[in-house]
Amino acid sequence: MFKGKEPYIILILGILFITYTELTKPKELVWIPTYSMEDKMPYGAYALFALIEDIFPKDSIIVTNESLFDIDYNEEALSYEENTNLLIINASSNNSFGTGSYTMDEYEVEVLLEYVSRGNNALLISNSFNSTLEDTLDFNTIYFGSIYAFRDTILNEFCFDNDLAIDIPSKYQETIISEAKYQGTEELAYLDGQPVLVKIPFEKGNFYISSTPKLFSNYFMLKQDNDNSENHKIAEAILNYLPNQLTYWDEYYKIKEGKELASQSPLRYVLSEAPLKWAIYTSLLALLIFTLVKSKRLQSAIPIVEPEKNLDIDFAKTIGALYFNEGNHLDLAKKKVVFWKEHLRTRYNIDTKILDEKLKAQLRLKTRVDENVIDKLVNAAEPLDRVKSISKDHLVMLNGLIEDFYKQR
């Protein structure tokens, strides 16, 4: 009954066995510090997000997934409301897990300073910070290492200025805040006598700078170190320094190991789970082996076919002659502008729906193109959708401006 089918039966049973083994295998821990609200791994922030929902009023937590720069240029002004808090964890410009992370640049720091200056509060938690931010607020971070670092048996005292003190293992010590000289700076918490949390007033608002992100991780908050079950009180005490008001939780400045690619794939869940991923790979390998074996048995002689001539140049000449003879300058100009807009979207991540002053401003910031070229190009391309025809001179001018833009970018 099964004559000749034994190899396929064995192959199917093997795939089922491998899939079952992978599905029942304990899930491997990932120790990358993402500090994401959805991450339940040791250095995620799932527990912290649950805690912050208990501290602040109901429905007062808003999760943001955009950079400060994008938010600033998506609206006439910052979309953040007045009298609010902003919480950013791991916004580091120089951390040991820098690969795959989104860090702040000088433009985003300017937006952050503007946000706080209007009377808002920003809690920044990281091992290190953008140099522009450090220079503006006149502080620095240095590594707080010792021969006892990363040991469970050596305890350091983490204390606040209100006398709340908790002993924590030295493996959680990272960096300290040094040389905080900005006028009005207050030291709020210390690790082994060294400042790790400071409050820096900035115009109408306040910055709260913490250099111990691991203390906000699932691993620290939920683990009972040395019979201590109060680790979460450190994060709770720091969060309580923020006013009880609308709070924005940042999900953009995190380490995103391959999330950009995964988010675009319909198989993102299957590929994110190791057992399902191995089942897919095993099936594809089996299909490849089957194809190779069957092709050797069924493949017939393949006739020699002369390669086709490359007709790309002839095609281009034909299309060019067609537009020249028809004299449809407007249609050709619109196609040139469409390709140019696509270039702006893919390379600079700029919204090109409307050709206006906001687009010009973003081009000036993100490209090296001369301002005159940008102004002339946008002014020449903007009215094309409203006219019925253009002159040959207008087409030549537009083409020249687009070529100049590509050369200068």
pLDDT at 78: 47
Out of 24-38, 85-99, 204-218, 346-360, pick the least confident. Answer: 85-99
Most confident of 63-72, 137-146, 151-160, 345-354: 345-354
pLDDT (average), residues 87-108 = 63
Which of 7-11, 153-157, 187-191, 282-286 tops mean pLDDT? 187-191
Pairing of strands 205-210, 186-191: unpaired
What is the SS3 string spanning the chain? CCCCCHHHHHHHHHHHHHHHHHHHCCCCCCCCCCCCCCCCCCCCCHHHHHHHHHHCCCCCEEEECCCHHHHHHHCCCCCCCCCCEEEEECCCCCCCCCCCECCCCHHHHHHHHHHHHCCCEEEEECCCCCHHHHHHHCCEEEECCCCCCCCCCCEEEEEECCCCEEEEEHHHCCEEEECCCCCCCEEEEEECCEEEEEEEEECCEEEEEECCHHHHCHHHHHCCECCECCCHHHHHHHHCCCCCCCEEEECCCCECCCHHHHCCCCCHHHHHCHHHHHHHHHHHHHHHHHHHHHHHHHCCCCCCCCCCCCCHHHHHHHHHHHHHHHCCHHHHHHHHHHHHHHHHHHHHCCCCCCCCHHHHHHHHHHCCCCHHHHHHHHHHHHHHHHCCCCCHHHHHHHHHHHHHHHHHC
Q: What is the pTM of this model?
A: 0.57
Confidence of residue 301 (pLDDT cuts 50, 70, 90): low
Q: Are 243 and 208 contacting, i.e. CB atoms less than 8 angstroms apart? A: no
pLDDT at 191 over 90: no
- The closest of 235, 255, 256, 307 to 87, measured between CA atoms, is 235
Spatial contact of 356 and 370, defined as CB atoms under 8 Å apart: no
**Comparing 253-267, 293-307, 354-368, which segment has the lowest mean pLDDT?**
253-267
Q: Stretch 201-229: mean pLDDT, rounded?
A: 84
Span 14-43, pLDDT tens digits = 777 776 776 666 767 778 888 989 888 888
What's residue 154's pLDDT?
A: 62
Which is it for the CA torsion 335, 341, 344, 345, positive or negative?
negative
- On the question of pLDDT at 291 being above 50, the answer is yes
Residue of higher predicted confidence among 259 and 394? 394
More confident call, 72 vs 47 = 47
Residue 155 pLDDT greater than 80, yes or no:
no
Domains of the chain are 1-28+272-297 (no CATH), 46-256 (3.40.50), 312-408 (no CATH)
69 token code pair: 């720069």
What is the reported pLDDT for 54?
Answer: 83
Tokens of 223: 């683990």
